[in-house]
Structure 1
């Protein structure tokens, strides 16, 4: 694999590699096809209907923004429309590779066209616009029509950089490198990559959370779950033909050694003290990662060009002893927010941020005393927060896409006494229950779960259980809606020979989650008790927006005992929240941004008239300056992110296919400003702390009812 990658990187301009499937891939596809059509939760037939879905999914996976293929290509591909099922049945991967090879040619053509277009002048006084989102647009009829689309794309790329203050020569150099790298990244793809794309197009044509994991993908999945790996502790990226050190992981071997820095470029890698140095210039990043990773206590040598040294050198060789690297940025963390009450007193609210439900399965199986677990870490953080005197708790699950089902169950057990947490229905109709059998609670006080549209799977199980038990309230946005259970199937176990190569794994949906109240989290997600104002149409994100997603359904409720009824507390807390939304400056800004976003984002296009773009920039800058002037008088400082809500849309970036993501995009700078949604969550929990006094709750509920009745609100 490595030698092939290097050879491709050095191909002369204009040469194209026609990739072909291997016998091992044919064998793997045969096993995967049988498992996908016989063991999936959803009854699946390998027929013409599925064949159509596979073809459409594969084309969309390669060219989601319709920027490379033309209508004649799509027409030509229709010969496979009712043949993908037969091809898979006979382990014939040729159609997938034929389509990819056309795609590779088209990317090369677009890169050449874009680079040539840079040599021509741009006229920014012409009143025209660029449609940057072409996901629903018709395919370009021919290469001439696609040339016009790309003329506008290149023009927009240039204008963006010009508006950012870059000089003409710098813009040309940067864009030329970008388009060259676009071609290079596709040229670096190997047969295994194409096989991976096609098998995932097949899997997702059945159901969106079913997937094929290559051997490398399986390894990365395990790393993400146990939050550790054995290596040097550095995150790698791409800079032209070099692998670049993007970040050194705090506390890892490279950080402790101190010589390797962010910005350094790796030009060669050697194993042990005297192993041959292998040149890696032009290699794919994941191949370089494979060379650098290795067992604990072994030595890896990196030849690097420091950030402040030109490509001519001199280079430096750094030897680092590999060790276990903890990926702490994915681990649970905590903070305390102090909320000032009307009487001037401060209420301490603890916040626990949980990015993923993680568990070191191997460490647990070996009964290691320090194995990583989200439940263990959260329990420890609760103890620390209690010692600091917090009176309420927020569990922040925003952007938490899930993880271990076991962890969702045990984490829920920290907040309920005991009982069922989630019901699981298998494909044969059998319903089982995951239960918390551990009596007692780690936290018995006021509790809120903060979620957003990207909170999914295990996050939804936890949030739904807290809601159903009346143990706490859910606040934020409706969640993603992933209520299905996936199992990992090691394809090597189904091989008839003992010397078969690693074939990877299938992540296959085999069951569905149901709440203890009987409803599913699938498709609908978890609806918050207190809903924050957010941009966009909820139907356009999450499970409900995905092709082939399973529908919502329900089963009988489990036998469980709610901890309490929070209906009146939710009503009063929401009443206070809505009052803040209408009266406070920060929320007025947020609502204004949302209104502007909803009105303009649907356009999916941006003007290429420089005067109009500059006027729009000036308007937005004046808006930001006005806000900054007002922010100075806010007691808590600025709570609303003043980033333009339309900025991402107006960048006009291509929604790229495989390996075509822009690599010159700057990393987001760490934002130390207060988080409005998090601070408001703390204020809601502080209200809950106050409303824990039943007499006060009754009084405020009565006052709220009288006021809303008087205003004619139902």
Structure 2
């Protein structure tokens, strides 16, 4: 159980990457954009009005929204907007507040001209003669080029890199990969050149709102309606559809996986490798995959008719037949994207490994409930000696679930405190006094363990309940956001939704992981340990901060007339701050360092990391042809700890 004061907006702690713009545009007008901007500023943790500094950021963000790859504009196109005078910025602020977006319209007209120029350049370039050995490093931190010749050179070098990457695939996949790149470019340019003036204005205003929100801080965002739906799917790992994963193969959408327990799996009519060419009679070949998926999803218990091409027979080449399949949509819970569990033998007993991918909650389950059930299930036939809570690649989720998951391992007490935009501090407490585990606990983290993951890891570290092992530190997202779409709501505002940073959070020690992240007790390098990932590398991060520790909870955030009654129910059996791992840490670190130093696979892996420092977020360790070395060593640390804690005490004389 969690004790805190509820807020009107949906509280979320999730590290999110930018969404691409979906094809269906929100119902925006100039007046609505001004209203939404004012709403967001009223809620924001730091900025309360537009300033010249913010307007300069907004202009730069708007340019990057239009040309994120920096392959359309040249410097002279946009010079007047890159470094405008304070006088011009103040005039733009006045225009913005009055609902006048003429400056953004002028930038967009320049973008239209840049797209048309790009078409001419593409016709001039001989893409059959590409340079060799183009490296990805040259495209980091790109600036707009100064000349048309410079733009031509950039386009050629980007195409060379794309062709080199595609050449590693077989011939069929290579062609499809390059065709997808062209298809995405055409789709985006069609949106820019759309002759419908109403749709064009919606497109501009959408980009303006995205530029405004991203100018405030890294995690404040504006979502189109489709993006908002996808964001909620990311949080809940639940949707209404058929339960199939698709791949765009240009001549249709191939089914690559059928989700266990989903409607497609239950009805068994759809098969992996089926190629969907129509949905409810509407052809989808050539359609963007987002639009096709949107056609397939829908209300629960409604039918969708899929026309598929299916290969039959064993002879080569295989025959194809066209099949119409009716599936009734239903709830699809992406369980494998929520959590996993396993165990490692330890003598006659086991070490439980609980891997949580996100902090979720819906009407039927939650991350805390599912973790408790999984540990109980493992414990039914085996004696569990230690638990590893694996939060690697877990970028966060619901704040309430961070409290509930941490509460599984403490008796009672403050889990996290939040300081909002008004400076008010409120404490979120676990008060039910029930633990699912009271023994040796390791929390395994990496550079992209963020937000809710950092609350759980740092809280358990603060109380001395768990050892933190893994990469040297976590992501460093110590801010919390409110989202205008409620977790239980299925209705999305046609004008779009937004997520705004309201303040910072602090664990019971009074520290926030903002910028610095959670520091590991024992460092076990993983695939991302050399990567420049984290809040410190983001565009506009909030500063770090601290408040007083709250191990001795004074209930100061509770209204006085409730305080005594709550004190009577809550103040006994508070979780004490422990130091049971402290005496073992030097030896545990030394043992881990020795094993890693003498493990040839680990040393090979570490050398590879030094060569490649630009890993993509979410890549798994298997890409190096290795087992999960980080998890294996975490298990070794747990085994060491168990041996040390079970050493017999000297007999008394």
Shorter-normalised TM range: 0.7 to 0.9
Q: TM-score, length-normalised on structure 2?
A: 0.80
Residues 436-459 of structure 1, C-alpha deviation per residue, up to 9 Å, x if partnerless? 101131101110000111111110
Q: TM-score, length-normalised on structure 1?
A: 0.74
Q: Which residue number corresponds to residue 234 of structure 1?
A: 244
Q: Once structures 1 and 2 are overlaid, which stretch shifts more, 543-552 or 179-188?
A: 179-188
| Matched ranges for 1:36-75 at <5 A | 36-75=40-79
Select the residue among 173, 181, 185 that pairs with 1:182: 185
Residues 479-508 of structure 1, C-alpha deviation per residue, up to 9 Å, x if partnerless? 1111111112369xxxxxxxx973222211
Equivalents in 2 of 1:297, 1:334: separation in Å? 31
1:47 CA drift (Å): 2.1
| Matched ranges for 1:78-89 at <5 A | 78=82, 82=89, 84-89=92-97
Q: Which residue number corresponds to residue 497 of structure 1?
A: none
Q: Once structures 1 and 2 are overlaid, which stretch shifts more, 501-510 or 169-178?
A: 169-178
Select the residue among 84, 90, 108 that pairs with 2:98: 90
| Matched ranges for 1:381-420 at <5 A | 381-387=374-380, 388-420=382-414
Q: Which residue number corresponds to residue 661 of structure 1?
A: none
Q: Which residue number corresponds to residue 6 of structure 2?
A: none
Q: Which residue number corresponds to residue 584 of structure 1?
A: 599
1:516 CA drift (Å): 0.7
Q: Which residue number corresponds to residue 139 of structure 1?
A: 144
- Check if 1:149 corresponds to 2:154: yes
Q: Which residue number corresponds to residue 195 of structure 2?
A: none
Q: Which residue number corresponds to residue 17 of structure 2?
A: none
Inter-CA distance 376–422: structure 2 relative to 1 (3 Å threshold): same
SS in structure 1 opposite 2:185? helix
SS in structure 1 opposite 2:219? coil
Q: Once structures 1 and 2 are overlaid, which stretch shifts more, 558-567 or 142-151?
A: 558-567
1:166 CA drift (Å): 5.4
Q: Once structures 1 and 2 are overlaid, which stretch shifts more, 540-549 or 234-243?
A: 234-243
Cα contact 1:107–1:183 (8 A) shared by 2: no
Inter-CA distance 109–320: structure 2 relative to 1 (3 Å threshold): farther
Residues 415-455 of structure 1, C-alpha deviation per residue, up to 9 Å, x if partnerless? 11111111111222221111110113110111000011111
Equivalents in 2 of 1:433, 1:209: separation in Å? 22
- Check if 1:564 corresponds to 2:579: yes
Equivalents in 1 of 2:121, 2:170: separation in Å? 23
Equivalents in 2 of 1:297, 1:515: separation in Å? 43
SS in structure 1 opposite 2:331? strand
Equivalents in 2 of 1:472, 1:693: separation in Å? 17
Q: Which residue number corresponds to residue 203 of structure 1?
A: 213
1:335 CA drift (Å): 0.4
Equivalents in 1 of 2:243, 2:104: separation in Å? 37
Cα contact 1:29–1:88 (8 A) shared by 2: no
Q: Which residue number corresponds to residue 620 of structure 1?
A: none
1:246 CA drift (Å): 4.0
Residues 382-429 of structure 1, C-alpha deviation per residue, up to 9 Å, x if partnerless? 112223322111000001111111111111111111111111112222
Inter-CA distance 505–315: structure 2 relative to 1 (3 Å threshold): same
1:36 CA drift (Å): 1.9
| Matched ranges for 1:688-703 at <5 A | 688-693=641-646
Inter-CA distance 520–181: structure 2 relative to 1 (3 Å threshold): closer
Q: Once structures 1 and 2 are overlaid, which stretch shifts more, 241-250 or 530-539?
A: 530-539
1:547 CA drift (Å): 1.8
Equivalents in 1 of 2:641, 2:203: separation in Å? 52
SS in structure 1 opposite 2:484? strand
Q: Which residue number corresponds to residue 368 of structure 2?
A: 375
Structure 2 spans left out of the alignment, 5+ residues: 1-22, 193-198, 487-491, 553-575
Inter-CA distance 177–413: structure 2 relative to 1 (3 Å threshold): closer
| Matched ranges for 1:263-342 at <5 A | 263-270=273-280, 277-306=281-310, 315-338=322-345
Structure 1 spans left out of the alignment, 5+ residues: 1-18, 271-276, 340-344, 364-370, 492-499, 605-639, 645-670, 698-714
| Matched ranges for 1:458-607 at <5 A | 458-477=452-471, 478-489=473-484, 502-533=494-525, 540-560=532-552, 561-597=576-612
SS in structure 2 opposite 1:391? strand
Q: CA RMSD in A?
A: 3.5
Cα contact 2:312–2:321 (8 A) shared by 1: no
Cα contact 1:215–1:502 (8 A) shared by 2: yes
1:87 CA drift (Å): 4.2
Inter-CA distance 104–443: structure 2 relative to 1 (3 Å threshold): farther
Residues 217-243 of structure 1, C-alpha deviation per residue, up to 9 Å, x if partnerless? 232333333332222112344333744
- Check if 1:439 corresponds to 2:433: yes
Q: Which residue number corresponds to residue 349 of structure 1?
A: 351
Cα contact 2:527–2:621 (8 A) shared by 1: no
Inter-CA distance 250–501: structure 2 relative to 1 (3 Å threshold): closer
Q: Which residue number corresponds to residue 16 of structure 2?
A: none
Residues 264-307 of structure 1, C-alpha deviation per residue, up to 9 Å, x if partnerless? 4433322xxxxxx3333433333322322222221111223347
Equivalents in 1 of 2:493, 2:131: separation in Å? 56
Cα contact 1:108–1:183 (8 A) shared by 2: no
SS in structure 2 opposite 1:288? helix
Inter-CA distance 74–283: structure 2 relative to 1 (3 Å threshold): same
1:592 CA drift (Å): 1.6
1:129 CA drift (Å): 4.3
Inter-CA distance 315–108: structure 2 relative to 1 (3 Å threshold): farther
Cα contact 1:423–1:513 (8 A) shared by 2: yes
Residues 289-334 of structure 1, C-alpha deviation per residue, up to 9 Å, x if partnerless? 2322222221111223347899x98633211111221111222220
Equivalents in 1 of 2:26, 2:416: separation in Å? 43
Inter-CA distance 104–509: structure 2 relative to 1 (3 Å threshold): same
